[in-house]
Structure 1
Amino acid sequence: MLPDVRPASPRDLEHLPTLEAAADALFAAAGIGPLPPGVGSVEELAGAAAVLVVGDPVVGFARLERVDGQAHLEQLSVHPSAARRGVGAALLEAAAGWAARSGHDALTLCTFADVPWNAPFYARHGFVELTDLGPGLRLLRETERRLGLDALGRRVVLRRGVGPEAVLADLAAGLGAALGDDLLGLYTHGSLVAGDFAPSRSDLDVLAVVARAPDDAMLAAVAPVHTALAERHPGWRGRVEVETVARSTVEAYAGRHVDAAARREDPIMRISPGEALHLLPASNHRVLTWATVRATGRVLSGAPAAEVLPAWPEHVVEEALLDHVRDWPDWVETMTTVGAQAYSVLSVCRAWCATVGRERLSKRAAADRFVGDHPQDADLVVWARDWWYSDGPDTEPSRYDEVRDFVVRTTRSVVDASQKASPVSRS
């Protein structure tokens, strides 16, 4: 297990120049040097985009800045007394996580190409050489040359993808290798496609369509893919939702005259925030995801979604949405955290827009649309929207009673409106 990493406190910053000097002694021992001045003053460190540390007292730190619109690892230092204990790896992964949560697509750095604990170390953690430099990185390299670093050894700029596209590319490659010909298509959907994606908050939603029903053997084959993905992309740990379903299952749910009891025996496979990879029975709820993917999903691998997934009759999709709405009063009983409460409010706003307003909107747009028609609920809905999209803290006071009342009232109004529109078909 890697050591714990935390943001630096003002007290920590005072010790970092001394720590870096101790770490730089390794270069002198290897015949490299003298190195130019290091991280600078405490004031300069305090002005960094982020400083992450390990230990108390600190035995390692990472300083992060923003260069060319991306995260840049300006410095990573580990005290020699803490070498080979995973401190550097922990700081590096935490830096990648910070970059991802901050909405960056990549983490860059400048380093010595041939020093074992420099470029080769970073290469083992997924960094590759970058030669097409933006103006900020070119300026950094010019500064390094002026300071004499290039005279001490060959310098390179390295890059590692940390954003959604890098995660999805690694996921597609891993599932493709694990599933082989069983994988008919892989698609991303949700807020990354629909809009209003929040890098620090939103999940990555993926649907995998396979040639046969998922089983224990398939679960065992793909489990290492998800483990490796979480290790490679720590900023996305617990934020990647993948549903795997057989084409025959989605075709059964698209049929008008299919035995409902029989089709519910079909298994699907899921991994989602708060849930480990597992098998579960298919249900009518899933039709919403499948229909959305067919309509707007983006291909990660395989054929276009419309060639793999059937078209669902509109009434089937509407009934699936209503089933989803009917279950929210039960689900909200477990929504005790502030984040879950905000998610509940926004999800119910989206459901209202889809059923009553006949608009498929993102969470943010649905909240704004709902408030326009329900000014009496504006305070709660705006709170949920702003908490979700402005990195609200988990320490905010709970609004559970208000949220539960809102969910119960609003879902009841959705069901009532639907029954009035089609009183015979609703139950």
Structure 2
Amino acid sequence: MTVHPLVHEIADAYLALVDAAAPGLVEGLYVVGSTALGDFHPARSDIDFVAVSADPVTAAQLVGLERAHARLAARYPGPVFDGPYLTWHELAGPPAQAAPGPHVSGGALRRRVRTDRTPVLWHTLAQHGVTLCGPRAQELMIDTDRAELAAWTVANLEEFWRPWLRRSSRLASRPGLACLNGWEPARGVLGVSRQHYTLATGRIASKRGAGEYARAVFGDRWHRIVDECLRIRDGRRRRSLYPNPFVRRAETLAFMEMAIGSARRLGAGRLPLGE
């Protein structure tokens, strides 16, 4: 697929900096996330990368990486260049078995992170990864167990999105008031739609792709809220479909309740017995 020129520009700058700071460390560089899924917006999207090496990053290399990412962030304040450092061996095995390691978030390097080692990342890289250097992403040995992906997705619904919905349902709270702002409805509606899509298909969708999927599978009742969230996601300046933000908030919460329930039922049919 064609990648935005700014992605290539920032990736080239990164490779030059990291090769100077830790020569030979990065053997493969790939972009995932919205960039690889055809939903990249330079003013709003991050550039999500995966850097792969033969061996785990050493303490000395970490110092060089911190310096390289600090310089990259100073040169390019946005979009941020975020992602994990992994080994070929880790990608070939289950994400849960990958050791905590370096991860860049907001342009700053954190030395030991585990939460980014997920089946979603493994599957996105295998299905959609765009190669910037090294072997082609689609030719890599990557563990892509669909049962693991389904189990992780169901857990994410229960541990992240269900509590998110519960907090946002209390109007007299910070999350509840935030849901009057357009960005939170878009985050919630498109976020749970992505999980539903994954459980239904075993694949990964962008936010826009998930919205289009939701519009197709959930029926006319939900078109207005999905269209509104796609409008917000795309940064369209045309008038909101909801003159009253309280009505939009109510429909956001109702959609999420419906979609999470539907996704849970899908997940129950995708998990092995005993899970």
TM over 0.5: yes
- Cα separation, partners in 2 of 1:424 and 1:285, compared to 1, 3 Å: farther
| Counterpart position of 1:411 | 260
Kindly provide the amino acid, as one letter, of the partner of residue 407 in structure 1.
M
Give the superposition deviation at 1:402.
4.9
Kindly provide the amino acid, as one letter, of the partner of residue 243 in structure 1.
P
| Counterpart position of 1:225 | 68
Across the aligned residues of Structure 1 and Structure 2, the Cα RMSD in angstroms comes to 3.2
| Counterpart position of 1:268 | 101
| Counterpart position of 2:37 | 194
The question of whether the paired residues in 2 share the 8 Å contact of 1:371 and 1:381 is answered with yes
| Higher fraction of strand | 1
Which of 282, 293, 300 lines up with 2:125 in the alignment?
A: 293
5 Å matches for 1:174-213? 174-213=17-56
Which of 208, 215, 222 lines up with 1:371 in the alignment?
A: 215
- Normalised by the size of structure 2, how large is the TM-score? 0.76
Structure 1: distance between partners of 2:78 and 2:115: 31
5 Å matches for 1:12-411? 163-214=6-57, 217-236=60-79, 239-253=80-94, 263=97, 266-273=99-106, 276-283=108-115, 286-306=118-138, 308-326=140-158, 327-331=160-164, 333=167, 336=178, 338-357=182-201, 360-374=204-218, 375-391=220-236, 402-411=251-260
Kindly provide the amino acid, as one letter, of the partner of residue 295 in structure 1.
Q
Give the superposition deviation at 1:207.
0.5
Give the superposition deviation at 1:186.
0.8
| Counterpart position of 1:424 | 273
Regions of 4+ moved over 6 Å: none
Give the superposition deviation at 1:285.
5.6
Structure 1: distance between partners of 2:135 and 2:270: 37
| Higher fraction of helix | 2
Give the superposition deviation at 1:352.
1.2
Q: Provide the secondary structure at the position in 2 that maps to 1:226.
A: helix
Structure 2: distance between partners of 1:219 and 1:404: 43
In the alignment, structure 1 segments of 5+ residues that lack a partner are: 1-103, 106-162, 255-259
Deviations 1:58-83 (A, max 9, x none): xxxxxxxxxxxxxxxxxxxxxxxxxx
In the alignment, structure 2 segments of 5+ residues that lack a partner are: 169-174
Aligned residue-pair number: 253
